Structure 1
Amino acid sequence: MKIQYLFQLLTLVVFLACNTGQKAQPATNLPAEAIAKEGRQNPITKSFVTWDKKMIDIGKVKKGEKRTLFFDLTNTSGQEIQIDIVDACECTKVDFPRGPIAPGGKGHFDVIFDSTEKDVAETIGINVVFKNTDAAGNPRIETVEYKFEIEK
């Protein structure tokens, strides 16, 4: 019994020793207040592209039915952008712009949803990964979604 208490005490000491009391730092080099004071947007949250819609509710779909939908984006980054990869569920086929999109230019995404393998309502995310990166060098990723219900 004494060994069990000793082990618990040791575990508690190690746990407390790991807590250095440091607070998480903001993701940018400047504090949010300084960015706001300068009238600039935080580079992490700055608008990169805008979408005509981020979510489409296609309603009830019969199992085995295919539906076509689309999303449009506008390049608001002030620089040329290009899509690297579009990732979605196997039930989703996406035709997307392959070349560069100029500042202010638009990109059109044709999406075909095939409900053959679906049995329940779901929300499907379409991840659009750009060749462009953020200030930290990470690829920019945007997600649009659609949802449906399976009619039996």
Structure 2
Amino acid sequence: MKKIFFYLIAGSLLAGACNSSDANKSAGQDTTTAATAASTKGTPVITFDEMTHNFGNITEGERVEYSFKFTNTGDGDLLITDATSSCGCTVPDWPKEPIKPGKTSYMKVVFNSAGKEGYTEKEITIRANTKPEQVQGPKIQCTILKQK
């Protein structure tokens, strides 16, 4: 009888301890969320009007360009420090001056199809004072036709 009573008490204490642990975790998550929100205050956010531009069919050796419009939708000045692509055939050009919150600007991307053939897709990677610091930028697509 004493053993049954002991197990009932121990089980009750264990169940109560588990519930209080979940309550602490929940409170901790709310604190983390609030801290994250506070740490992003004053942070710029780069938002492109479109993330993909397809040039369609182009001829091998042709140079094409497109300007991607973007807006700083954050609440701090946006400063792009670098923009790169996976190869030298795609060259991005970005504004070097800070973009104020709510303002728009353009990132020009030039693609040189010399020596290439078939479907191509090139993505731009952007480094800026955003969180995270490195973000996926827009991409271009095209099908390169061999010269006759």
Give your verdict on TM over 0.5. Answer: yes
Residue of structure 2 in register with 1:115 after alignment: 113
Residue of structure 2 in register with 1:62 after alignment: 59
Provide structure 2 residue ranges, at least 5 long, that are not aligned to the other structure. 1-27
Show CA shifts across 1:113-135 (max 9, x none): 110021221110011110x142x
Give 3-state SS (helix, strand or coil) of 2:111's partner: strand
Show CA shifts across 1:41-74 (max 9, x none): xx6xx99222111000111111001112110110
The count of aligned residue pairs is: 113
CA distance in 1 between partners of 2:144 and 2:83 (Å):
25
Give 3-state SS (helix, strand or coil) of 2:118's partner: coil
Tell me by how many angstroms 1:95 deviates: 1.7
- Confirm or deny: 8 A CA contact 2:44 2:77 kept in the other structure: no
Choose 1 or 2 for highest CA Rg: 2
Residue of structure 1 in register with 2:29 after alignment: 30
Q: 1:47 to 1:103 in 2, by over 3 A?
A: closer
Name the TM-score, length of structure 1 as normaliser.
0.64
Runs of 4+ that moved beyond 4 A: none
Amino acid paired to 1:143: G
Name the TM-score, length of structure 2 as normaliser.
0.66
Q: Does 1:142 align with 2:139?
A: no
Q: Which has the higher helix share?
A: 2
Residue of structure 2 in register with 1:76 after alignment: 73
Considering only aligned residues, what root-mean-square deviation do their CA atoms show, in Å?
A: 2.8
Identity of aligned residues (%): 25
CA distance in 2 between partners of 1:81 and 1:47 (Å):
5
